[in-house]
Amino acid sequence: SFDENLEFCCDALVEGLLLEDKALSQNLSLVDIQEGPESCPFFRILEMLRSAPGDEGPNRRLKISLLEVQWLDMQMILARELVQRTENDPAVAEKHQARWFELLLQMDELARKAVASSGSGGNGSTMWEAGDVDSVTKRDSRILSRLWLVQAQYGSNPPISRPPQEVARLAQEA
């Protein structure tokens, strides 16, 4: 059954995202505007993965974090579309724009916390230097790279406004 294969589902979604987000079926991102983001199949799958019992090791946490970042990105796309659809009503458009900024901050915080909890602390070389090769190889460096890129992608823009040196460092880590 589907419940018995949730970890395979998680792995398949992560691999699809690491290839390219377009590798995932568009049906996963369908949203009923009237019902909101929670009507999205991707969200329902993510909720099942979050609540499923299983290995709570760093590898699984990184995978779930990547899927959560993707979910926030999908909501940002919806919020941007709603801004465009309501541009004739500035008050409503401003509400959707504020939601976009809120989602951006959540995405950045999630990526920062996931990288920090992975043990790399924003500097992937520290575990190698400490000789803890097993810790590095058990984690998926591709996911860490993507999470660093998330921080660098919007980092210099408001409301985050990271210094250019910090954005460059994050991009280099990726």
How far is 56 from 174, CA to CA, in rounded Å? 24
Least confident of 10-19, 25-34, 90-99, 130-139: 130-139
143: left (phi over 0), alpha (psi -120 to 50) or beta: alpha
Length of the chain: 174
CB–CB of 146/140 below 8 Å?
no
- The per-residue pLDDT for range 144-160, each reduced to its tens digit, is 888 988 888 877 777 78
Q: CB-based burial of residue 2 (10 Å sphere; 0-12 exposed, 13-18 middle, 19+ buried)?
A: exposed
